[in-house]
Amino acid sequence: MSFQLTCGHCGVRSISRVVAHSKITYSGTDFRIDSLAKCDNCHRSSFVSFHVNTGYIYEFSDFEKQDVIIRVEDLRHAELFPVKESNIPDFLPNVLKDVVEDAEFNYHSNRWKTATQLYLQALEFACILIESDFDEISAQQASAQKTDITKRINSIFEGGSISASLKEWAHQIRVIGQYHKHRYVEADEDDCKDVRDFLDSFLRYSFTIPGQISARRERIRSAKTA
C-alpha cells in the first residue's frame, strides 16, 4: 500500500510506500494503523497514523500487501508527521503566490533550471506589481510591455521602493543578468539558490512587511473604534 501525500521533508506531493506498520485493534472491525511510508522523491520516511473501521471504502485486511494508493486526505482521523511548513512569504497577491509555489515545487524536486526560470518570472511579476502600485489589473496591462528585468529593478529603486543594497544584490546574481540579456537561462543548483534567497528577501521587504504593517494599523484602528 502507498499513500499520496505532500512529503514533509522535500515538499513534493508524490507517492510514499508503506515500509513498516503496526496495528492497534479496538475490535475485529475497528483498529488504528501506525505506519512509516517512504517518499518516492526523497526516500525519507513519514509517520502516517489513521483509524479504520468497517464501511470504509478500502479493504484493509492484508492492506500492506495490496497495490493500492490512498490519498492521505481520504484517511480517517489521520495524523501525518512531519508536515511541510509553507515558507512562502505572506501577503503576496495570488498571481505572484502561484508562481512562487510552482518554483518551490520544482526547487524541492531538484529541477534547478525550471525553478530558476520560475523564480525569475516571480521577480519580474513582483517588480511589475510594485511599479503598478500593487494594483493587479494595471500590473496585468503593464506586463504586456517587455522591459528588461534589471531595468525594472533599477526603476523601482529610483522610485524609492527598494533599498540600494537590495538593488546591488540583484545585480550580483548571475542568472538575473542572463535573463536581462537573452532570457535563456542556464542554471545550476547554486544559481537557483542565489535567486531563491534573493527573491525571498525581496518579497518579504516589498510585500510581507508592508502587509504586516497595514494589518497592524488596521487592528489598532478597529480597537480604538470598538
Choose one: 9-17, 26-34, 143-151, 180-188; the region binding Zn ion (CB under 5 A): 9-17
Is-contact 69 86, C-beta < 8 A? no
Q: Which is nearer to Zn ion, 83 or 213 (CB)?
A: 83
Q: Identify the residue among 3, 5, 6, 10 touching Zn ion (CB under 5 A).
A: 10
Judged by DSSP in three states, 225 sits in helix
- How far apart CA 118 and CA 126 sit, in angstroms, is 12
The yes or no reply on residue 209 touching Zn ion (CB under 5 A) is: no
- Closest approach, Cβ 162 to Zn ion, in A, equals 35
Choose one: 6-14, 48-56, 73-81, 84-92; the region binding Zn ion (CB under 5 A): 6-14
Q: State the number of binding residues for Zn ion (CB under 5 A).
A: 6
The yes or no reply on residue 9 touching Zn ion (CB under 5 A) is: yes
Q: Which is nearer to Zn ion, 41 or 150 (CB)?
A: 41
- Closest approach, Cβ 4 to Zn ion, in A, equals 12
- How far apart CA 45 and CA 59 sit, in angstroms, is 24
Applying the rule CB under 5 A, the residues between 23 and 82 that interact with Zn ion are 39, 41-42
Q: Is there a cis peptide before residue 93, judged by omega within 30 degrees of 0?
A: no
Please name the helix (run of DSSP H) or strand (run of DSSP E) that holds residue 115, with its range, or none: helix 112-131
Grid cell of 225 as nine digits: 473604534
- Strand intervals (E) in the chain: 2-6, 13-27, 30-39, 45-53, 69-71, 76-81
Grid cell of 55 as nine digits: 464501511
The yes or no reply on residue 175 touching Zn ion (CB under 5 A) is: no
**Interacting residue ranges for Zn ion, rule: CB under 5 A:** 7, 9-10, 39, 41-42
